């Protein structure tokens, strides 16, 4: 104890000074503007030693560092000047297996795979990297490699194997012409404004599966799951330009139910002439389908749900109202659907944000 007190007294008796390699204003400027946090901290120590020379322990307390750090920084600065502060330290990527340029070349084939929609896993990249460098490496090496090149882990967008990208792009390009052709079929003298809509059906039931969710440290959530094959269908048609939606919850997907839904859309938007995008389901093109006089249907390409904005509504409902929930009856499913559909219908900005696909923005 006496020794520690003696050392403290000796330290207080010593005054730590910094050499005048730079003016006080220049030191202050570098202390504020240096892009590296470590260098800014070192300039802070130099600034303290210049503006008020005092014991190293006092400077350390004001700068939030150890006394040994103050001694080391001041000593190097006094001997070497600015180079002692701004010379890069020994940290960073010093013992890399490949240079950054070589890493870019190594990742290029995987980048091309990702653009084609193929899946690149860490295991696949890991094996290729070990083959490239000629020996085994830790998996953390691969994660750091991907982080350096700003790769991130994403959920792939599902796509049907029979989907044709060229056909989809052609549909979007020709959509205004299809709308114009549909509008040309309305009765002469019908001056109602044209409204572009999209329609789809979503199946909801009592089969539940556990999904990822947020949880605090040390907590593993539990979610009830069941496989009960009872279903009902939500029919929805959205008008992105207005931020409005019409929906019905019906017991099945069929031509009879589609007729009922089109009647509802025709009634709600009776002051508009509706041009509606639909998918190729059988009940959208059946002989018994009754299309109201103020509605025309435009079929989208096969295997292309990505073109229909109503799919985003189903994703929103399942994430917000159905994930990790176990329903005791179809009535409970109906209640959850009503709650979600009503909330979306009342939030026009949210609805517009989810469904305002560029190809639907047709001026008529």
How far apart CA 292 and CA 267 sit, in angstroms, is 9
Task: Answer yes or no: are the C-beta atoms of 195 and 272 closer than 8 Å.
Answer: yes
Residue 326 has pLDDT above 70, yes or no: yes
Reply yes or no on whether the pLDDT at 39 is more than 60: yes
Beta bridge partners of 298: 277
With 80 as the cut, is the pLDDT of residue 267 above it?
Answer: yes
Q: Is pLDDT above 60 for 90?
A: no
According to DSSP, residue 203 is labeled: E
Where are the alpha helices (H) located in the chain, listed in sequence order? 2-13, 24-33, 37-51, 56-63, 67-80, 83-86, 100-115, 122-133, 139-148, 165-183, 255-268, 310-317, 330-345, 348-355
Q: What is the pLDDT of residues 140-163, one digit of tens each?
A: 899 999 989 888 877 777 788 888
Looking at residue 96, its pLDDT comes to: 76
Report the pLDDT averaged over residues 230-241.
97
Q: How far apart are CA 159 and CA 302, in angstroms?
A: 12
Q: Any idea of the CA torsion for 75, 79, 81, 83, to the nearest 10 degrees?
A: -90
**Where do the domains of the chain lie?**
2-86, 100-148, 165-212+222-360
The whole-number pLDDT of residue 7 equals 54
pLDDT digits (tens, 9 = 90+) for 13-33: 588 888 888 888 898 888 888
Top-confidence residue, 255 or 211: 255
Give yes or no for residue 271 having a pLDDT over 90: yes
Please give the pLDDT value at position 2. 55
229 CB contacts (<8 Å, ≥6 apart)?
205, 206, 207
Q: How long, in residues, is the chain?
A: 364
Question: What is the pLDDT, as a whole number, of residue 5?
Answer: 52
pTM beyond 0.85, yes or no? no
Mean of pLDDT values over 319-348: 95
Residues facing residue 194 across a β-bridge:
273
Q: How many CB atoms lie within 10 A of CB 222?
A: 8
Taking a C-beta distance cutoff of 8 angstroms, is the pair 16, 51 a contact? no
Tell me the angle at which helices 100-115 and 139-148 cross, rounded to the nearest 10 degrees.
Answer: 80
86-100, 178-192, 279-293: range with lowest mean pLDDT? 86-100
pLDDT, tens digit, 9 for 90 and up, residues 198-230: 999 999 999 998 888 888 888 888 888 999 999
Q: Is 257 in contact with 287 (CB distance < 8 Å)? A: no
| Interval 337-358 mean pLDDT | 96
Reply yes or no on whether the pLDDT at 111 is more than 90. Answer: no
CA separation (Å) from 33 to 25, 41, 65, 205, 224? 12, 11, 20, 59, 55
* CATH class held by domain 165-212+222-360: alpha beta
pLDDT at 333: 96
pLDDT score of 82 more than 90: no
User: 107-114 long-range contacts, Cβ below 8 Å, gap at least 24?
Assistant: 107/145, 107/149, 107/151
Per-residue model confidence (pLDDT) at position 215: 83
């Amino acid at each position: 104890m006496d020794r520690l007190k003696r050392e403290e007294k000796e330290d207080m008796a010593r005054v730590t000074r910094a050499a005048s390699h730079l003016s006080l204003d220049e030191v202050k400027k570098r202390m504020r503007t240096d892009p590296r946090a470590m260098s800014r901290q070192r300039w802070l120590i130099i600034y303290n030693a210049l503006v008020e020379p005092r014991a190293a322990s006092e400077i350390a307390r004001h700068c939030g560092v150890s006394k040994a750090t103050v001694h080391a920084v001041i000593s190097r600065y006094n001997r070497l000047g600015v180079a002692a502060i701004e010379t890069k330290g020994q940290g960073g990527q010093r013992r890399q297996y490949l240079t950054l340029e070589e890493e870019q070349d190594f990742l290029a084939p995987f980048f091309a795979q990702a653009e084609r929609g193929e899946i690149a896993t860490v295991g696949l990249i890991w094996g290729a990297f070990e083959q490239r460098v000629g020996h085994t490496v830790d998996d953390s090496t691969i994660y750091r490699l991907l982080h350096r090149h700003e790769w991130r882990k994403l959920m792939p967008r599902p796509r049907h194997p029979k989907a044709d990208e060229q056909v989809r792009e052609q549909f979007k390009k020709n959509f205004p012409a299809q709308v114009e052709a549909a509008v040309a079929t309305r009765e002469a003298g019908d001056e109602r404004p044209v409204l572009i809509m999209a329609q789809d059906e979503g199946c909801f039931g009592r089969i539940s599966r556990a999904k990822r969710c947020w949880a605090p440290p040390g907590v593993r959530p539990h979610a009830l799951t069941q496989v009960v094959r009872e279903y009902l269908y939500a029919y929805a048609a959205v008008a992105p330009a207005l931020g409005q939606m019409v929906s019905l919850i019906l017991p099945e997907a069929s031509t009879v139910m589609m007729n009922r839904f089109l009647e509802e859309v025709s009634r709600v938007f009776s002051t508009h002439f509706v041009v509606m995008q639909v998918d190729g389901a059988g009940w959208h093109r059946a002989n018994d389908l009754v299309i109201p006089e103020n509605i025309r249907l435009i079929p989208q390409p096969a295997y292309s749900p990505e073109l229909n904005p109503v799919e985003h509504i189903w994703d929103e409902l399942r994430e917000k109202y159905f994930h990790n929930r176990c329903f005791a009856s179809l009535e409970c499913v109906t209640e959850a659907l009503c709650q979600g559909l009503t909330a979306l219908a009342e939030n026009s900005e949210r609805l517009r944000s989810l469904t305002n696909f560029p190809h639907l923005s047709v001026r008529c």
